[in-house]
């Protein structure tokens, strides 16, 4: 006759009791105790966690050099506002509603203190960065300094925790973006050749204000990615996206 192995039986019974206790404990937990909640990490400036992008304050200004005041486009706001809304929506989707843009369009065209050549200089290559820098400095003084001629408290106000961006719609040439400010020529919203992807160009320059880099090799003149930082900028916004590796560097 085969001998009964009591030690093995005791081990099996102990294991059954433990499993039963775990199941009973889980079934009798409150619903909120059954979920393991991992807080979402804050979205931040590209490779800089010290600059939160949870909330972005976007100010859009239509800017005209003083010698081009006769060429003001009276439909400028109707031309750009749909693209602004698309930018806001695209950004919200790409960052899963963890980075939200609140925008305000200054209602009147702003005539510059200088002429176009003073902003553009003789070199408008690489997106006209000279104009972006010069106009940004001028707008900071005129809009955000209480002594400025365009200072309005409500427009100038930004919550302390918000990341501030100025977007210049320029009556001139250029497409450029740096930390906190971008410039795009109004011509991109008017010329038919850009009609299928002007919203992508608009977001592309905005992306640079958040630190996202160009995915384009200057020497070979080849795009190095398919997302909106690369050749996605010349495709419809509905087909565009931000590459995961880029978002990973932003805490996403």
* pLDDT > 70? residue 30: no
By residue range, what is the domain housing residue 197?
Answer: 44-245
With respect to residue 28, please indicate whether it lies within any of the assigned structural domains. Answer: no
The mean pLDDT value for 47-54 works out to 97
Number of domains in the chain: 1
With respect to residue 177, please indicate whether it lies within any of the assigned structural domains. Answer: yes
With respect to residue 21, please indicate whether it lies within any of the assigned structural domains. Answer: no
Check residue 153 and give its pLDDT. 87
With respect to residue 58, please indicate whether it lies within any of the assigned structural domains. Answer: yes
The mean pLDDT value for 18-42 works out to 55
* pLDDT > 50? residue 36: no
With respect to residue 34, please indicate whether it lies within any of the assigned structural domains. Answer: no
With respect to residue 138, please indicate whether it lies within any of the assigned structural domains. Answer: yes
190 CB neighbour count, 10 Å cutoff: 14
110, 63 Cβ separation under 8 angstroms: yes
Helices (H), 169-236: 187-190, 198-209
- β-bridge pairing 222-223 and 216-217: antiparallel
Residues 6+ apart with CB under 8 A from 88: 58, 101, 103
Specify the CATH number for the domain of residue 201: 3.40.390
Check residue 158 and give its pLDDT. 86
């Amino acid at each position: 006759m085969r001998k009964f192995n009591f030690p093995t039986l005791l081990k099996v019974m102990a294991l059954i009791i433990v499993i039963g206790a775990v199941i009973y404990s889980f079934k009798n937990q409150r619903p909120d105790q059954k979920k393991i909640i991992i807080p979402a990490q804050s979205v931040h400036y590209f490779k800089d966690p010290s600059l939160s992008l949870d909330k972005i304050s976007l100010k859009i200004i239509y800017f005209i050099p003083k010698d081009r005041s006769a060429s003001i486009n009276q439909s400028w706001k109707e031309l750009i506002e749909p693209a602004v809304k698309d930018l806001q929506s695209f950004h919200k989707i790409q960052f899963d509603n963890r980075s939200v843009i609140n925008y305000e369009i200054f209602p009147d065209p702003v005539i510059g203190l200088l002429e176009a050549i003073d902003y553009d200089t003789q070199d408008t290559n690489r997106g006209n960065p000279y104009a972006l820098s010069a106009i940004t400095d001028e707008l900071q003084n005129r809009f955000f300094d209480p002594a400025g001629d365009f200072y309005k408290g409500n427009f100038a106000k930004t919550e302390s925790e918000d990341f501030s961006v100025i977007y210049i719609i320029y009556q001139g040439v250029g497409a450029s973006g740096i930390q906190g400010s971008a410039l795009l020529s109004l011509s991109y919203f008017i010329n038919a050749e850009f009609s299928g992807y002007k919203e992508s160009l608009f977001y592309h320059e905005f992306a640079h204000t958040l630190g996202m880099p160009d995915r384009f090799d200057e020497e070979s003149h080849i795009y190095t990615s398919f997302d909106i930082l690369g050749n996605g900028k010349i495709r419809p916004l509905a087909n565009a996206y931000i590459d995961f590796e880029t978002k990973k560097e932003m805490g996403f």
